[in-house]
Amino acid sequence: MTHGMIVAPQPEAVEAGAITLRDGGNAVDAAIACALVQTAVDPMMCGIAGFGSMHLYLPGKGLHGLIDFHTKAPAAVTVDMWEDLIEGECRDGFGFILKGRPNEMGYQSIMIPGSIKAYHEAVTEYGTMDWKDVVQPAIEYAREGFTVRPHVDEFWSAANVMGRVSTAEKLKACAATKRIYTNGGGEFHGVGERIANPDMVRSLERVRDGGADAFYSGELADDIVADMEANGALLSREDLAGYRTQRPDPIWGEYRGHRVAGNPPPGGGVMVIEMLHILENFDLAAMGHNSPDYIATVAEAMKYATIDKDTRVGDPDFFDVPMDELLSKDYAAGLADRIKSGEQAHVERLGEPEESKDTTHLCVADEAGNVVTMTHSLGMPSGVITEGLGFMYNGCMGAFDPRPGRAASIAPGKGRFTAMAPTIVFKGDEPYVVIGAPGGTFITMGVLQGILNVLDFGMTMAEAVAAPRFTANSDTIDVSNRIPRFVTNELEDRGYPIQRSPFSYVFAGVHGIEIDDGTWTGGADPGRDGMALRV
């Protein structure tokens, strides 16, 4: 038996990871078992046709690095293919609304998946269990079915938000999708109902027996390609066969004497570190948690990092990202001086819609000192399921900027920026805070506040992920409904537009593990349905 802790937004997935540890697997085995079960029990948040970022610290193997499995644009895309369809930009700066919505729904929204490639590589290279045994729990959940949880129901039934295509519309647009997720009357299965997916069982069995090759070049690939070709998709056989993960080193920052390791672009680690470097110039604890001064200061750091993300961060294989400057403490100090002067940053936006948050996360630590923090996603679900395969494809084309010549513009083979920020904070040479979140562009803002809550305010991990959050991905400060109005009234008096969420737990779903003197304590965001479990 391996002792350890795992935390994720789905209890079934957490339990599968914990059982994997109990059966002798290490943190990597547990992470991938958890991730695969997540695809079966939260199939709009993630899937085997998705993507993500896996941050691994494996001291016994002398490894601290990442498996980057961001999705890539198919070779058939062109830089100006949607330029004349633009209707608006998301208020948080992540994605565009196009006439007819081809970028966020349907076959043309699908980019090259990376998930199964990364999961198979992680287990075969760094795990201690057989791949087939790691996949099996997901097969059982797909076969026996999963019970619809409150957060799943909320997500499926939500109306369209600020112009986005609603998940409900996507789930009913494709015949195979509608058959799986609605009842005979065309209504979604409700809380407590059970959904089995025998088509997904067969796909997972093929992946179990054939590994990643089954998905990228085998019989499963044949079925995928046939459907893509029949429906005018951009994704091709050559795209699938040519997909490769990347293995970057972490990027580094420092905050109040702690070293902070994050993922490089096209992931969001650079934003987390830039914000921490800015905020190190302030005595946040003296301001008081979620006071007007605190919220205004942190919001300005968020805005500056957002401006830099929008204009200076993209896929480094296609865009020259000035990493030395963005990670520089001198650069951060200059931005801090502007905040101290009372200047309010301005974030340019072309519209008001909000980004989809179709993502999930997990963190694992084991007794050997291994830790894994991984965010994985469909980006936004495309709504497309190939008849007989049971899994949904990502809809990641929606995050590209349809305007040529920009950091996030469309290009063949290009990865799109994501806010995914699986982060490890070190105390000395040992991992101290292992953290990450789902939640679209709110991810970096949620991870930032989780770290600040532990390091500046001495919260436990459970307290840190449950504390009320806010975000500033635009000139507006969005706040959770648990932040008092007497606080936001003062911010409005200072000239800040405030948008109050109707939800008490909102702006990412932060999950983390704190490791202190060999003791694990975990926190699962209470706004999601998950848990932390120690074995």
User: How buried is 183 (Cβ within 10 angstroms: 0-12 exposed, 13-18 middle, 19+ buried)?
Assistant: exposed
State the virtual CA torsion across 337, 489, 527, 250 in degrees, nearest 10: -10
Q: Which residues make Cβ contacts (< 8 Å) with residue 257, sequence separation at least 6?
A: none
Q: For the chain, count helices (H), then strands (E).
A: 18, 21
Residue 470, SS3? strand
- Closest Cα to residue 120, out of 184, 209, 188? 209
Contact 263, 269 (CB under 8 A): yes
Residue 214, SS3? helix
Selecting among 245, 297, 359, 476, the annotated active-site residue is 359
Q: What is the DSSP string of 137-181?
A: HHHHHHHH-EEPPHHHHHHHHPPP-TTPPPHHHHHHHSHHHHHHH
Contact 22, 2 (CB under 8 A): yes
Residue 408, number of CB atoms within 10 A of its CB: 26
- Closest Cα to residue 510, out of 477, 466, 472, 478? 466
State the virtual CA torsion across 176, 178, 184, 189 in degrees, nearest 10: 130
- Closest Cα to residue 69, out of 249, 365, 213, 267? 267
Residue 160, number of CB atoms within 10 A of its CB: 12
Residues pairing with 188 in the sheet: 182
Contact 250, 66 (CB under 8 A): yes
Q: Is 177 a catalytic residue?
A: no
Residue 474, SS3? coil
Catalytic residues: 359
